[in-house]
Amino acid sequence: MTEPVSPFKGKTGLARIINAAGYSWAGLTAAFRHEDAFRQEVFLLVLLVPLALYLGDNGIERALMIAALLLVLIVELLNSAVEAAVDRVSLELHPLIKRAKDMGSAAVMISLINVAVVWLLMIAG
């Protein structure tokens, strides 16, 4: 017996990779256009990546400092995706909707704290 195939599944091979890259670019563009926090975090990344390259004593330190910054963007994208999906389903005030949005916000906050901790540990030596 064969598994049912989703009608939303697209191409395979190289065409799939190209399509996926296009969807990813569309997601980054949408986040930059519609999410103030994402734009602020991109600005922070643009400022701090050169500083990480300068302050890091070796490749591992530089990689950790930059990875901590990139993690903020990843978490912000996921938070924004959850918020958009929840808002699409319902705009009513509901405790579960509030909980979902608050948890996404908390994840972003923790990722920002992670940046501070990693950078302080690297700079303090």
3-state helix, strand, coil in the chain (%, to 5): 80, 0, 20
Q: Name the active-site residue from 35, 41, 61, 76.
A: 76
d(CA 46, CA 72): 13
Active site residue 41: no
Residue ranges with strand state E in the chain? none
The two three-digit tokens of residue 55, written as one number: 């302050």
Catalytic residues: 76
